[in-house]
Amino acid sequence: MLSPRISRMKERHLNTIPCITAERLVLQTEAYKKFAGEATPIFRAKVVQYIMEHMTTLILDDELIVGTATNAYRGASLFPEFQSSSWYISDIDDFSTRKKDPYYISPEDKKIILETLPYWEGKSMEDLADKVMPAHIKELEKDDIICVGLENGVCGETTCNHDKIMELGLRGYMEECQRNIDAHLPQTREEQEKVDFWNACIIQCQGLITYAHRMADEAERLAGECGDPERKKELLRIAENCRVVPENPPETFYQGLQMIWFVHLYFYIEVCTTACGFGRFDQYMWPLYKKDVIDEKNITRQEALEMLESFYLKTNEVYEVRDNWYATSFAGYPMWQTLMVGGQTRDGRDATNDLSFLCLEAASELQTRQPIMALRVWEHTPEELFRYGCRMVQEGQANPGFFSDRRGIEISLEKGGTMEEARDWAIVGCTQPAPGGGGAEGSPDAGYVNMGKMIEFVLHNGVDPATGKLMGLQTGDPEKFQNIEEVKDALKKQIIHHYDLIRQGYNLMQSIHMNRYPVIFASMVTEGCVEKGKPVQNGGAKYSTCGVFVTGPANLADSIEAIDQCVFRDKTVTMKELIHACDTNFQGNERLRQLLLNKPAKYGNNDAHVDGVYREMMHYIARTVQEWPDARGGHYAFGIDSQTMNLSHGAVTGALPDGRLAGEPLCDASSPMMGRDVHGPTATVKSVASMVDAELHEGALYNLRFDPHGVQGEKGLEILEGVIKTYFEDGGQHIQINVVNNETLKKAQIKPEDYRGLMVRVAGYMAYFTELDKSAQDAIIYRRPHLASAE
Amino acid sequence: MEALIGSIQKFSTEDGPGIRTTVFLKGCPLNCRWCHNPELIDPEQELIRVPGRCIHCGYCMKICPEDAVFVDEENNIDIRRDRCTRCMRCADECWSQALKPVAKKMTVREVYEEALQDRSFYQHTGGGITISGGELLLHREFVEELIDMGEKDGIDFCLDTSGYGDGEFLFRMASRSNVSNILFDIKAMDDRKHQELTGVSNEPILKNLRRLAEDPATRRKIHLRMPLIAGLNDGDEDIQAVALEIEKLGITQVTILPYHDFGISKKRNIGGMQERFSPPAEARLEEIRRALEKTGAAVNISGTPGK
C-alpha cells in the first residue's frame, strides 16, 4: 500500500503533462556569450556551472528527495547546441498537439524561447551534421533505410562508478583531479588537454555542490514559512542532506538516495542524454541500508521504502525532447534508466539482499514508467526473489525485465572485462550487458539497418523499388541466382555495405563530438576518464563500444526461407513472379501470398532450418561489424533490438517474400514477425533462445506477451517461471513479459482516462500505454498474446 | 507404428501438471452430443474447411474430380460430403489452408521428437506429454510405444481418456512409472442417460474406472474430469451419483469442465451439425464444486485460477 504522501505524489505525476521551459535555454545562452574563448572542456564546464548557479531551486510539496531538471515539475529543456534550432522553431506550435510524446509550452515560455533561439541558428551539432554528412548517407537516412546516431544527441550512455561516488563524494573526485593537475606541467597538446579536462571536472563538481547548497537554502526558507511542524522537520532534514551530499560521502541511506539523484540529475542538466543506468543499486546502496535499517535501526523498513519510492518518482521527471521522427521510433518518452537487482557478487556468490526485495517492492507498489527494473537471474538466485519478480509480471506490471547472468557474464568477458568485472556486469544502455565497475561506455545507437529494405535492394539489384533510384549495392540480377546460397551471399554483402555506411557516418559524428562536445561530469564518474585525463567521447572510459542494431531480422530470415522453399526447392513460383508479386503488393495474387505465409517455415516456431537462417545472418553481421574500430579506439558491438523503429522502417518497406504486406510494421526486436508464431510461446522461446549467444555483444531484446488467462493462479506463476528459466537455460539473454489482454488494451484506447496507469514494456523501457500514439498502441496489440490450451 | 494425429499442442496448461504437450489422436468410440473435438471422432482422415481463411481463388473447385466443392448462399466455401471421396486434392491446392485434412499421419518417433522439443519446459514445471484425442484406447500400440520411448528419457505422461475400451491395457499403462495422471472423463452415472448423451453404455467405463481405483498405486493417479452441460448432466441427482462414486472409490482429484461451444463450428466444418448447449451458471458451478468437495477430493473448475 502506498503511503498517503506517495499516493499524492503519484497522482501529481500522472496529472501533469510534460512541458518545455525556457529557463535553461536562457541561462545557457547567457553563459555561451560570457565564456566564449575558453578551452572547450572548460568552456562547457563553466556553462553548466553557470546554469547550476542560477537555475530555479524547486522543492515540491511532499518531496523527500529533491532536485528538478528544470524550473517546472515534469519539465524538459531544449539543447540547441545539439539539436537544431530550426526544427525547434518550426515545431514549436506542434509540440503540445503532436500525437507522439507531446509537451506543453506556456505562452510566456514560448515567447522567450522564440526570442532566444535565433542566436543558435546554424550552431548545433545537427546543423553541422547536415553539412558534413555525405549526401548518400543522408539520403538513406531520409528514406528510413539506415539511421546514424549522434547527429543531434549525446555520445555516451552512462552507467557510472556508483561505488566510488558513494565512497568519496565529489570532494574525492575534485582532490584526485587537483592532484593530477599538480603533477603535470603540460609540455604537449595532449597533456594540456588532460589538464583542461581535470580543471573542467573540478568546475562541474563545484557547479553541482553550489546547486545542492542553494537547494539547502531553499529548503530552509520553506521550513521557515511552513506551518506544519512535521513538514518543517522534513524540510530541515532535506537541507541537512543537501549540505552533506553530493560534496561528501553520504552518511545515511536517505542521503545516499539524495546523492545518487543529484548525480543522475546532473547528467540530464549537463546534456540531453538518455539511458543513464542506476547500475547495481541493491549493491552500492546496501551498506547504508544495512546500517540504517538492519544494524542501527535508525529508520524502519517502511520509512526506507517511502524514501525509495520518493526517489523512484524523481526518475520520472527527466525528459529528452525529440523530433517527430525520433518520437515515433522511440515512442513513450523513454529514458532507459535501468535499476538492477540480484545476480552475483564480484567473487561469485549470490548478491541478493533485503534491499533487492525492497527495490522490487517499491516498483511494484508505485508502478511508474521509471526506473526500469532489471532482475539478474542465475542458478543461486533465491526462489523468493525470482518468484517476486514473476508475480509482478503475472499481475500485469510488465516489470521487471529478466536477465540471464550467464549471458551477461559471457558478453562482459567478450567485451574485455576481467572475471570479477564480468560477474559485476551492469546494463549499459537499455538491455546491453557490459563489464561492471562503472568503466564501460556504450555509445548508443550508432545505427540501425532496415532489413526489409535490404531484401528489396537485393531483389532489385540495388534499386529501391519505392523510388526507382539506385540506392544500394548492385548485388547482381536476382533472376540469375541459382540457389539460396547466392541469395544469402548477396544479402550479406548488401547488409554489410549499409553497416559500413553507418560506420563512416558515425565515426565522423564521433570525431566532431570529440572536438566540440566533450561531456565532462558523466565522464568524470566513468571509470578510466580521470585517470586518462580524457572524456568518454575521446576514449576515456575503460571499455568503449558503439551499439549497432537491426530492424526486421525475422522478416529477413522468413523471406530467405520463403524464397528457398517456393522458388528453389518446390519451384512453385519463379523469382521473377515473386518479385513482381512483391512489387505490386500481391494485388491480384493473394493466393501466392497465402502460400508464402503458410508453406515455408517461419522463425519463432522452433523450426531448426529457418531458425538456423536467422542465426546465420545475425551472426554474420555480428562477427563482421564487431571487428570494426570506432573513432575513439573502441569497437562496434551488434545486438538485436528495434525499439519502435520497426514501425517507421516498416512504413517505407514494400511487400516482402515472407508475405508481409507493404507498409506493415516489421517484426519487433528479436521476436518473431507478429502473428507468425503459431505454435505457442514455448516454441517461440526456443527459437529466440537458439539464436542468442555471447557473440551478440549487445544481446537480443525479447518481448513476450501472455494473455492473463494463460498464466493465472499459482500454476500460472509456475508457468511463467518455467518459461523464463528455460529461456535462460537455452541461452536467452533478456526477456520482458507483458501480461495483458487485447480487450484491456482496446478499452484503454477508447477510454484512456480510465487507464492512465496501464504500463507496457515497449523495448527495454516502460511506457504508459495511453501516452503512446495509436500506431504504437496497435503494434503492441498486434504482438501475439499467448493463451493457454483450448483445443 | 503410425497414427493419425489431429494436432500436437504445445504449451498445454490445462491437461495435467506443468507445461505440457498434448497429442490429439484421431478416432473415438463415443459420440458425445457436445463433443469439443468432433473432428477427432471419425478414425479415418477427414476434410475440414475454415471458411474465414478462404480467399475465393476457386482452385479447389477446378481441381475437384467429383465436383464436391461449392460456395454456399453466404459465400462460404463448402463440401458436398456425399460426393467427396476425401482425396484431398482440393486441400493440396488450397494455399490459404481454408480446406485441409483434419489430421496428419505420423510415426511414434515423429510425434515424440516434436513433443520433446519442449523437454526443458517439462523439467522446470513438472510437465510432460498428455495423450488425448479422440480416444487413446483405440491406439493401444501407438500409445504404448510412445510411453516406452518416454520412459528411457524420464518423460512424464498423462493419459486423457473416456475410459471406454480395453480396461486391462488402460490399467497396465496407468501402472507405468512414468504415467502420473489418468485424466478420466465421467459424463453421467445413469447408464440410460449416458447412452442418450454419448451413444454408448457407461458400464465398461465404470468397470475400468473401478479397476483403476482398486489398486492404490493407480488410484492416486486418477484425476476425474466432468464436462458439465446445463440441463443435461448437472442436476442434483447426477452430481450426487458422481459424488457417491468418488467417495466410494477414494478418488482425490476432480476437475469440472464447463461446456464451451468450440465444437459447433468444427462439427459444421466437417459437414455435420451439433446442438448448442450452455454451461451451468457460475453459481451452480460453485454449488457443484462444493458438493463434490464434500467427498474429500480437491475440486477445480477448469479455466479459473487453481492449483
| DSSP string across A80-116 | TTTS-HHHHHHHTTTTTT-SSS--B--HHHHHHHHHH
Q: Which residues contact B83 (CB under 8 A, 6 or more apart)?
A: B66, B67, B68
Best of B19, B25, B53 to disrupt the A interface (most A CBs within 10 Å) is: B19
Nearest CA-CA distance, residue A359 and chain B, Å:
27
Nearest CA-CA distance, residue A690 and chain B, Å:
12
Instruction: Indicate if A538 and A654 belong to the same structural domain.
Output: yes
At position B17, the amino acid (one-letter code) is: P
* CA distances (Å), origin A110, targets A15, A103, A260, A272: 22, 12, 32, 19
Yes or no, beta carbons of B13 and A725 under 8 Å apart: no
Q: Which residue has the higher pLDDT, B287 or A777?
A: B287
Q: Which residues contact B46 (CB under 8 A, 6 or more apart)?
A: B39, B86, B101, B102, B103, B270
Nearest CA-CA distance, residue B140 and chain A, Å:
23
Nearest residue on chain B to A720, judged by CA atoms? B125
pLDDT of residue A787: 46
Q: If you count DSSP H runs as helices and E runs as strands, how many of each does chain A have, helices first?
A: 32, 18
Yes or no, beta carbons of B11 and A682 under 8 Å apart: yes
Q: Are A338 and A427 in contact (CB under 8 A)?
A: yes
* CA distances (Å), origin B29, targets A557, A790, B32, B260: 45, 22, 10, 21
**Cβ contacts (< 8 Å) between A731 and chain B: which residues?**
none
How far apart are the C-alpha atoms of A595 and A274, rounded to whole Å? 44
Q: Is A231 helix (H, G, I), strand (E, B) or coil?
A: helix
Instruction: Indicate if A11 and A147 belong to the same structural domain.
Output: no
Residue B206 has pLDDT above 90, yes or no: yes
Does A117 contact B at CB distance below 8 Å?
Answer: no
Q: Which residues contact A463 (CB under 8 A, 6 or more apart)?
A: A457, A469, A470, A471, A472
pLDDT of residue A387: 97
Q: Are A474 and A462 in contact (CB under 8 A)?
A: yes
The grid coordinates listed for A625 are 561489424
Tell me: the pLDDT tens digits for A154-171? 876 789 999 999 999 999
Q: Is B257 helix (H, G, I), strand (E, B) or coil?
A: strand
Yes or no, beta carbons of B120 and A726 under 8 Å apart: yes
* Strand ranges (E), B1-41: 2-12, 20-25
How many CA atoms are closer than 13 Å to the CA of A578, on its beta-carbon side? 29
Residue A253 lies in a domain: no
Which of A595, A709, A725 minimises the CB distance to B95? A595
As for how many domains chain A has, the answer is: 3
What average pLDDT does the segment B188-198 reach? 97
Q: Which residues contact A150 (CB under 8 A, 6 or more apart)?
A: A125, A129, A443, A446, A506, A509, A510, A513
Residue A423 lies in a domain: yes
Best of B5, B13, B40, B60 to disrupt the A interface (most A CBs within 10 Å) is: B13
Q: Which residues of chain A have pLDDT under 70?
A: 156, 444, 753-754, 756-757, 759, 761-766, 782-791
Least confident of A583-592, A640-649, B42-51, B228-237: A640-649
How far apart are the C-alpha atoms of A675 and A677, rounded to whole Å? 6
Which of B12, B24, B307 minimises the CB distance to A715? B307
pLDDT of residue A764: 52
A489 burial level (CB within 10 Å; 0-12, 13-18, 19+): middle
pLDDT of residue A90: 94
How far apart are the C-alpha atoms of A535 and A529, rounded to whole Å? 6
Does B24 contact A at CB distance below 8 Å?
Answer: yes
Q: Which residues contact A489 (CB under 8 A, 6 or more apart)?
A: none
* H or E segment to which residue B281 belongs: none
pLDDT of residue B31: 97
Q: What domains are defined for chain B? A: 2-43+104-301 (3.20.20.70), 47-101 (3.30.70.20)
**Cβ contacts (< 8 Å) between A587 and chain B: which residues?**
none
How far apart are the C-alpha atoms of A450 and B196, rounded to whole Å? 62
pLDDT of residue A788: 37
* CA distances (Å), origin A361, targets A302, A342, A760, B138: 11, 14, 18, 53
Residue A173 lies in a domain: no
Residue A223 lies in a domain: no
First-last CA distance in chain B: 37
Does A722 contact B at CB distance below 8 Å?
Answer: yes
Instruction: Indicate if A430 and A577 belong to the same structural domain.
Output: no
Q: Are A440 and A635 in contact (CB under 8 A)?
A: no
**How many other CB atoms are there within 10 angstroms of residue A383's CB atom?**
8
Residue A527 lies in a domain: yes
Instruction: Indicate if A452 and A549 belong to the same structural domain.
Output: yes
Q: Is the dihedral of CA A104, A108, A112, A117 positive or negative?
A: positive
Instruction: Indicate if A139 and A120 belong to the same structural domain.
Output: no
Yes or no, beta carbons of B10 and A679 under 8 Å apart: yes
The grid coordinates listed for A784 are 501475439
Nearest residue on chain B to A729, judged by CA atoms? B120
Percent of chain B with pLDDT over 90: 91
Whether the bond between A334 and the residue before it is cis, its omega within 30 degrees of 0, is no
CA dihedral A606, A612, A614, A616 (to 10 degrees): 160
Instruction: Indicate if A139 and A103 belong to the same structural domain.
Output: no
* CA distances (Å), origin B268, targets A253, B43, B275: 68, 18, 10
> In the block, which residue shows the cell 513438472?
B126
Taking alpha carbons only, the member of A299, A260, A300 closest to residue A280 is A260
Yes or no, beta carbons of B120 and A683 under 8 Å apart: no
Nearest residue on chain B to A608, judged by CA atoms? B117
Per the structure, the complete domain to which residue A45 belongs is given by 4-129
Nearest CA-CA distance, residue A377 and chain B, Å:
15
How far apart are the C-alpha atoms of A618 and B265, rounded to whole Å? 43
Query: Model's pTM, two decimal places?
Result: 0.92
**How many other CB atoms are there within 10 angstroms of residue B156's CB atom?**
21
SS (H, E, C) A25-53: HHHHHHHHHHHCCCCHHHHHHHHHHHHHH
**Cβ contacts (< 8 Å) between A598 and chain B: which residues?**
95-97
Instruction: Indicate if A347 and A477 belong to the same structural domain.
Output: no
Instruction: Indicate if A652 and A513 belong to the same structural domain.
Output: yes
Yes or no, beta carbons of A591 and B57 under 8 Å apart: yes
Yes or no, beta carbons of B13 and A788 under 8 Å apart: yes
Q: Which residues contact A720 (CB under 8 A, 6 or more apart)?
A: A390, A393, A394, A706, A711, A737
Which of B15, B19, B95 minimises the CB distance to A682? B19
Residues 50-89 of B with CB under 8 A from A: 55, 57, 59
Q: Are A677 and A605 in contact (CB under 8 A)?
A: yes
Yes or no, beta carbons of B97 and A594 under 8 Å apart: yes
The grid coordinates listed for A127 are 546543423
Beta bridge partners of B301: B256
Residues 223-282 of B with CB under 8 A from A: 260, 262
pLDDT of residue B261: 83
Instruction: Indicate if A510 and A419 belong to the same structural domain.
Output: no
Residue A254 lies in a domain: no
Does A710 contact B at CB distance below 8 Å?
Answer: yes
Nearest CA-CA distance, residue B104 and chain A, Å:
15
Yes or no, beta carbons of A591 and B13 under 8 Å apart: no
Beta bridge partners of A275: none
* CA distances (Å), origin A347, targets A278, A344, A418, A420: 21, 8, 12, 6
How far apart are the C-alpha atoms of B217 and B93, rounded to whole Å? 51
Instruction: Indicate if A136 and A111 belong to the same structural domain.
Output: no
Long-range contacts of A313-317 (CB under 8 A, 24+ apart): A313/A6, A313/A9, A313/A10, A313/A13, A313/A366, A313/A368, A314/A65, A314/A67, A314/A261, A314/A265, A315/A264, A315/A278, A315/A370, A315/A371, A316/A13, A316/A74, A316/A368, A316/A369, A316/A370, A317/A68, A317/A69, A317/A73, A317/A74, A317/A75
What average pLDDT does the segment B129-136 reach? 96
CA dihedral A131, A137, A138, A141 (to 10 degrees): -150
Nearest residue on chain B to A710, judged by CA atoms? B13
How far apart are the C-alpha atoms of A770 and A369, rounded to whole Å? 12
Residue A142 lies in a domain: yes
Yes or no, beta carbons of B19 and A722 under 8 Å apart: yes
What average pLDDT does the segment B264-289 reach? 94
**How many other CB atoms are there within 10 angstroms of residue B14's CB atom?**
19
Residues 95-124 of B with CB under 8 A from A: 95-97, 117-118, 120-121, 123-124
At position A436, the amino acid (one-letter code) is: G
Q: Taking all residues of chain B, what is their mean pLDDT, rounded to a whole number?
A: 95
**Cβ contacts (< 8 Å) between A719 and chain B: which residues?**
13, 18-19, 125
Residue A250 lies in a domain: no
How far apart are the C-alpha atoms of A676 and A683, rounded to whole Å? 12
Q: Are A754 and A769 in contact (CB under 8 A)?
A: no
Instruction: Indicate if A103 and A18 belong to the same structural domain.
Output: yes
Does A713 contact B at CB distance below 8 Å?
Answer: yes
Nearest residue on chain A to B59, judged by CA atoms? A591
Q: What are the backbone dihedrals phi and psi of residue A206, each rounded to the nearest 5 degrees, phi first?
A: -60, -40
Taking alpha carbons only, the member of A272, A255, A310 closest to residue A3 is A310
Q: Which residues contact B287 (CB under 8 A, 6 or more apart)?
A: none
Percent of chain B with pLDDT over 70: 98
Instruction: Indicate if A421 and A460 belong to the same structural domain.
Output: no
Q: Which residues contact A229 (CB under 8 A, 6 or more apart)?
A: none
Beta bridge partners of A433: A427
Q: Is B212 helix (H, G, I), strand (E, B) or coil?
A: helix
Residue B250 has pLDDT above 70, yes or no: yes
B237 burial level (CB within 10 Å; 0-12, 13-18, 19+): exposed
Yes or no, beta carbons of B19 and A725 under 8 Å apart: no
How many residue contacts between A and B have a Cβ separation below 8 Å?
101
The count of residues in chain A is 791
How far apart are the C-alpha atoms of A203 and A42, rounded to whole Å? 8
First-last CA distance in chain A: 40
Yes or no, beta carbons of B127 and A681 under 8 Å apart: no
Q: Which residues contact B148 (CB under 8 A, 6 or more apart)?
A: none
